[in-house]
Structure 1
Amino acid sequence: MAHDGTLASEAKHAADAEQEMTLLRAVKLYPKAIFWSALLSSTLIMEGYDLSLLGNLYASKEFNKKFGTYSESAGKHVVSAAWQSGLSNGARAGEILGLLLAGWVSDRYGYRITTIGSLILMIMFIFVLFFAPNIQVLVVGEVLCGIPWGAFQSVSPAYASEVAPVVLRPYLTTFINMCWVIGQFFSAAVNKGSNTRPDEWAYRIPFAVQWVWPIPILVGLVFAPESPWWYIRHGNREAAKSSLLRLTSRNDPNFNVDETIAMIEHTNELEKKIKEGVTYLDCFKGVDLRRTEIVVGVWLVQTLGGQNLMGYFAYFLTQAGMDPSNSFSLSMAQNALGIVGTAGSWFLMSRVGRRTIHFSGFCCQLLILITVGSLSFSQANNSIWAIGAMLIIFTFVYDFTVGPVTYSLVSELSSTRLKAKTIVLARAAYNASNIFVNVMTNYQLSSTAWNWGARTAYFWAGSCLLSTTWVFFRLPEPKGRTYAELDMLFEHRVSARKFAQTKMDPFSQQLDDNTASTSTEKP
């Protein structure tokens, strides 16, 4: 198909219509896209559940009796810091493998098939966790389960960002964070319910609950449409059009499916002109090197801002002296507030830029971490409750700002042709950094290792300060931009702090004119 001025004209008309679209009209026009994206994103409930589950099980007496060893100094059975790190990092190592596989599989076979295959593997691998006779097999189970979790991490933000217009994009991508928090809430609730059991079901029930999600999601995804962007990248315009029609409502007479397909084609051709390749190596070439650095950085700072303490919340509080039952109750309150925070972030993102939210969130987290560390020196009997309250506030701040906006940023700032692979690289870096974070946290909190208690917060306040500095200088503002506009902003090397003020028209000239475009500062 000849990509001439007519294509550019149709693409511009669709882009203008998309940017002028109100939230209410977008919801009415794309109800099916919202449903399918939410269903696919719900796969992350399982990962949020299990990774939080491990941190909570370390506070379980029966789990420690089964998989730990008796500690003379602690006077009870405990899982050593080394094995805690092995369990947590086993899952992370599996996720890195799953991410790399999913990046290739989703490019070749699509997001839907990749997710369906990963769900089948998930159902199989949960058996290893459930029947694990010792901690060694439990580690193997975590590695295996990490493979489909890694695929879910890669596919969910890519699919959510491609099936909806600009105005819906932040809601669908940040819903992924909501799924994480829902999983963490269920983990705390199940642990609280089973923690008092005097037998092996105290930890087997929490593992078995993981079978609840994959089957209904799997049945639903059999009927899900593929992303129209994926079809365009594979040169199948008719399939892309059919997919877009399945994602939208037929009741809007003003929606022009051909113009929207033209916009997707134009953006794809624009990116092909800027750079031809779609391999992992291309993520580190030319203008995409900066985009990869930013997307990787956004996910790295998410691990270094002290967020790891949320996953170890119940364990953190028990190590600081709180009764396990009370710590699980507070953990449920923490995650419930996290759900409220994520919902609140949708309201915030419709009015405030992503960069502003991200930076402000890190500043608040830094202050809270310093406060928690300082409270550790208090001799008051109720200081542990004050620490618990501050960590709950930390969770709310994180899920109101940094947590959800991260998913919006990584899906918007990567190019559409390299989106799956850029997200894979970023999430793999995230998981690799989490290996370091988990080892440090386990040794910092374990009574058989460094036993820092609440003073651990000081260490993460330092890494949070470094993260805040990076965000200020390197993170651009993508709010309200089409993918074509973002392509041109990166192509013209606009600095991160000027993204919001710079005006771009990627449709002003034909693609064969070297993708030239004018850029001016907004008055």
Structure 2
Amino acid sequence: MSTIENSPTSEPYKKYETEQKLATDAREGVDYEHSLTLWQALKTNKKAVFWTWAISLAIIMEAYDDSLISSVYGYNSFAKKYGQWYPKIKEYQVPAKWQSALNMASPVGEIIGLMLNGWLVERYGYKKVIMPCYVFATAFIFIVFFAPSIGVLFTGELLCTIIWGLLGGLAPGYAAEMCPAILRGYLTMYVNFTFTIGHTIKAGILLGFAENNTQWSYRIPFAIQWCWPIPLALITWFAPESPWWLVRNDKIEEAKKNIRRLRSDDDLDEVIEKEIAMMVHSDMFNRDNENNSSYFDCFKGKNLRRTEICIMTWMCQQMNSFGGVGNSYFFEQVGFSQIKSYSFTFIGEGIALFGDVTSWFLVTLTGHRLLYTAGMFGQSLIYFIVGFLALAPSSKDGPKWASAVILMTQSFFYDCSIGPLAFAISTEVPTARLRNRTFAIGRSIYYILGIICSVANPYMISPAQDNWKGKAAFLPASLCLIWAFWCVFRLPEMKGRTFEELDVMFERGVKTKDFKTYKIAMFDDDDYIAKSTSEEAGSTKEEHKQDVGELTYKVATE
């Protein structure tokens, strides 16, 4: 039997006399996680749940700022401050080139922030990245609030969205690593709940200032962003670092202290040791098995399938945005007044909050794969109905109101399925060492598609262009249907699996349909041993890879 001292990753693991001892403790840690009921996990991990909740509040800022500037283009005071006088139409308008620039600032800044997050978090940890973000956010909001020209406004918006991108990548990864597998899905789905809160606050404030013609109609919505950084920075100061990040950076004792701090039961020291062993063994699997250190590694070997799932999950979300169906401008184009359009948007966000809460109960019954796939088929059906209603004569009000009601209920179905589940799936599918980088890639693709939507949608629904009106719904209906079939054939069920179990299943190339029933049975210690044994025996690199598959777990399928 090999010893840890001879392992290439020996320094943090000297307390384990042999790899078999590490494997045995890790196996017991996995067994403990699977033995927990939802109530037991909540009771034992209530402190961890609180810190996940607190860190995820950062997403409110990102969601609130999302399309905030484009939402105030129609305010006369904003157009007079940052626009130009157009004699032909006898009113102030923000020039089209600056509208495009401001629309691009948000997704471009988010992408920059996300890509920085994937590198910074692995180097410095979640907490050391989050704290400076709040400091910079407070400063950058000053630029937006006091911007004397539209060029300065653009600069401030770009800088702010870089911070939102960083925070938007931090919170889901932190949530995924703070609690056992049975709670992981709920906590990562909660991130979407905070996103919806941000959208709801924004929609309510914009509705309240829709008839205000002073400079405060846009300055106050900008200033409200100052409400978040300082209190959230104070909360984050006391938050613990992710134990998984500490293990990945060989800080085993500190990880142990943090887990002890996160648990509510003082008699769990032995269990904590098993949890640490599970994390250590999983980290050894990632270190030995593949290169897991750069963005390029996300597209190599077995990681490619995992990156595909992350990317496609986020693309599924964005399919709903094509055609601009459901936003306030869309409602105006199908015949509603500006006030009614903002009211519909606000009501839709309120319904979406209810959908987020509902998703926590539905996912318990259905799992991730079924609920997400059903959500995509449901979105497609809703948009097809809206599209066919738009074929009715425009002089009739009935189809117009029916479309409005259906699109408001669409918010519910979106946020009880694909909205929150995208966060859960995209944070659990990557390896631990590539989690933040893979998430950044998937979310960046989401924003790239958002850029395409922001350019294409006005041409589809603008009266001065193609003027599709409600018929624009046929586009997202068709796209959602195509992506729904991708879910059927490529999206595996990962609910309730530990990170190491997922590593093994992806390494073995388990078929999508078999993920739910695949059994990783751990028998005696010889069936569950760390991989460097084969290296010490003088095996070649190819033989070692074979040993990884054969010796790490005994696997059987139902």
TM-score (norm 1): 0.94
- Partners of 1:478 and 1:53 in 2: how far apart? 35
Structure 1 unaligned runs (5+)?
none
Match of 2:528 in 1: 509
- 2:363 pairs with 1:349: yes
- 2:500 pairs with 1:464: no
- SS at 1:432 equivalent: helix
Deviations 1:55-74 (A, max 9, x none): 53244343344444567897
Cα distance change on mapping 1:69 and 1:390 into 2, 3 Å: farther
Match of 2:354 in 1: 340
- Partners of 1:456 and 1:129 in 2: how far apart? 34
- 2:127 pairs with 1:112: yes
- 2:294 pairs with 1:258: no
Pick from 380, 384, 402: which aligns with 1:370? 384
Larger radius of gyration: 2
Whether contact under 8 Å (1:53, 1:184) holds in the other structure is no
Match of 2:64 in 1: 49
- SS at 2:232 equivalent: helix
Task: Map 1:274-353 to 2 at 5 A.
Answer: 274-306=289-321, 309=324, 313-353=327-367
- Partners of 2:509 and 2:31 in 1: how far apart? 23
What is the CA RMSD across the aligned residues, in angstroms?
2.2
Structure 2 unaligned runs (5+)?
1-12, 534-546
The Cα of 1:250 is off from its aligned counterpart by 3.2
- 2:445 pairs with 1:434: no
Match of 2:554 in 1: 518
Deviations 1:199-235 (A, max 9, x none): 1111111111111111110111011100001111111
Query: Which amino acid in the other structure matches residue 44 of structure 1?
Result: I
The Cα of 1:195 is off from its aligned counterpart by 1.7
- 2:172 pairs with 1:157: yes
Cα distance change on mapping 1:429 and 1:359 into 2, 3 Å: same
- SS at 1:161 equivalent: helix
- Partners of 1:243 and 1:284 in 2: how far apart? 33
Worse overlay, 418-427 or 181-190 = 418-427
Whether contact under 8 Å (2:323, 2:472) holds in the other structure is no
Match of 1:141 in 2: 156
Seq. identity, % = 36
- 2:214 pairs with 1:178: no
Pick from 236, 244, 248: which aligns with 1:221? 236
Worse overlay, 507-516 or 7-16 = 507-516
The Cα of 1:453 is off from its aligned counterpart by 2.2
- Partners of 2:86 and 2:202 in 1: how far apart? 27
The Cα of 1:341 is off from its aligned counterpart by 0.3
Match of 1:8 in 2: 23
Q: How many residues align?
A: 521
Worse overlay, 481-490 or 133-142 = 133-142
Task: Map 1:444-459 to 2 at 5 A.
Answer: 444-459=460-475
The Cα of 1:384 is off from its aligned counterpart by 2.9
Query: Which amino acid in the other structure matches residue 336 of structure 2?
Result: M
Pick from 383, 389, 403: which aligns with 1:387? 403
- SS at 1:229 equivalent: helix
Whether contact under 8 Å (1:10, 1:263) holds in the other structure is yes
- SS at 1:291 equivalent: helix
Pick from 259, 280, 286: which aligns with 1:244? 259
Task: Map 1:63-78 to 2 at 5 A.
Answer: 63-68=78-83, 77-78=92-93
Whether contact under 8 Å (1:53, 1:188) holds in the other structure is no
Worse overlay, 5-14 or 67-76 = 67-76
Query: Which amino acid in the other structure matches residue 529 of structure 2?
Result: Q
- 2:523 pairs with 1:487: no
The Cα of 1:469 is off from its aligned counterpart by 2.3
Match of 2:284 in 1: 269
Whether contact under 8 Å (1:59, 1:324) holds in the other structure is no
